[in-house]
Structure 1
Amino acid sequence: MNTTADPRSRVTGVVLAGGRGLRMGGVDKGLIEIGGRALVEAPLDALRPQVGRLIVSANRNTARYAAFGVHVVADLQPDYAGPLAGLAAAAQAATTEWLVSAPCDTRTLPTDLVARLVLAAERFGVDAAYACDADGPQYVVCALRTSLAGALARAAASSRRALRDFLHAQRAVAVHFCDWRCANLNTPEALTC
């Protein structure tokens, strides 16, 4: 295990904002504003103190995402291949040992999310861990070793693009967060709640 004075320097955070936003009528979900702030800002703010570097995975409006002071990467596949493609691009761009991800529409994240995910994976000697809340597994909220970049790219290019399947193939550890609920905002109705 690589230890440094600041463990955050071992981790890159990535906010996944590369989807088509079909359930939102095709708009770029991460840039939808609530209370004068883009949805992507909440997970960026939550990850910022927990990681050494931040990336946004986005397939459009890259200049607007870059304005949040983060590096922006696009999917390696041009067909919106889902979270695996965004994770593959981020893992390839990261210069750290670990990558921890969150979707752009997650309003809150635990303050110890990164530390607990990475520690659990290292404790069990595996390359991945994912968060569970009261509703069950939240696979997109996960930690992955960046050495999995090639495997992520191959999985994203395959016909089976389920992040859940990829994580299970890595023997990923489930980490339970009892006082947190992921509560993604996937529909226009969810924005009004």
Structure 2
Amino acid sequence: MQIESLSGLILAGGQGRRMGGRDKGLEPFAGRSLIEHACRPLQGRVRELLINANRHLEAYRRYGDRVIEDREGGYQGPLMGIWSGLCATDDEWLVIVPCDSPDLPDDLVDRLWTGKGEHDIAVAHDGDRAHPVVAIIRVALAEDLEAALVAGERKIDRWYDRHSWCHVDFSDCPSAFANLNSDDDKAYLEARWASQAP
């Protein structure tokens, strides 16, 4: 893996509607903020760590090399965050992860890098379903994504289908991709972590 050609992006720009409008990335989880957990699999494995956020920017600046806002306002979804990240880096590749999956595997970046083969996009698959916001994307696709957004596209899967893409098998660790969409999710996963603690 050539770290000099790879940046990382944590998507933390959503509205957190299912969590009462709270900023999910800054939510405490198992003694740390969710953004800290999201940083873990990227730190030391990417040349630059970017965080896509649209509020509490000063708080997020403590965790990444740069904080980038959506290039267009209105909370338009993860594709807007991905495009903003693709436009913000000079590297050849961008690894993306969500801010609300605190247990992603430590070897995530290595496996996505190796698993992409000759494809332009590689998406993590847990053996049961794909996780489209855990992926590696060729930065040269930024212009095409801009055109798709201008045309009204907001579905990640449909944009991926425009390109050469593949799944990367993570069926050995499906629970690593659990994400927190609600307070109930958070409570369940914290309890699971506590039960597994030594």
Residue 8 (structure 1) aligns with? 3
Residue 32 (structure 1) aligns with? 27
Residue 115 (structure 2) aligns with? 120
Pairwise CA RMSD: 1.5
Contact 1:81–1:157, Cα closer than 8 Å, also in 2 = no
Q: Indicate the SS of the match to 2:133.
A: strand
Counterpart selection for 1:147 from 131, 140, 144: 140
Q: 1:152-167 maps to which residues of 2 (within 5 A)?
A: 152-167=145-160
Residue 16 (structure 2) aligns with? 21
Residue 74 (structure 2) aligns with? 79
Paired positions, count: 186
TM-score, normalising length from structure 2? 0.88
Q: Indicate the SS of the match to 1:60.
A: coil
Quickly say closer, same or farther: Cα 1:35–1:114, change in 2 above 3 A: closer
Q: 1:65-104 maps to which residues of 2 (within 5 A)?
A: 65-104=60-99
Once structures 1 and 2 are overlaid, which stretch shifts more, 97-106 or 67-76?
67-76
For 2:24 and 2:145, how far apart are their aligned partners in 1?
A: 23
Residue 183 (structure 2) aligns with? 188
Q: Indicate the SS of the match to 2:44.
A: helix
Residue 3 (structure 1) aligns with? none
Q: Indicate the SS of the match to 2:94.
A: strand
For 1:10 and 1:62, how far apart are their aligned partners in 2?
A: 26
Q: Indicate the SS of the match to 1:47.
A: coil
Counterpart selection for 1:178 from 171, 183, 190: 171
Q: 5+ residue gaps in structure 1?
A: 1-5
- The Cα offsets for residues 83-125 of structure 1, whole Å up to 9 and x where unpaired, read as 111111111111211000000001122232222222333x2x2
TM-score, normalising length from structure 1? 0.90
Q: Indicate the SS of the match to 2:42.
A: helix
Counterpart selection for 2:126 from 133, 137, 155: 133
Contact 2:127–2:171, Cα closer than 8 Å, also in 1 = yes
Aligned AA for 2:163? Answer: Q
Contact 1:84–1:153, Cα closer than 8 Å, also in 2 = no
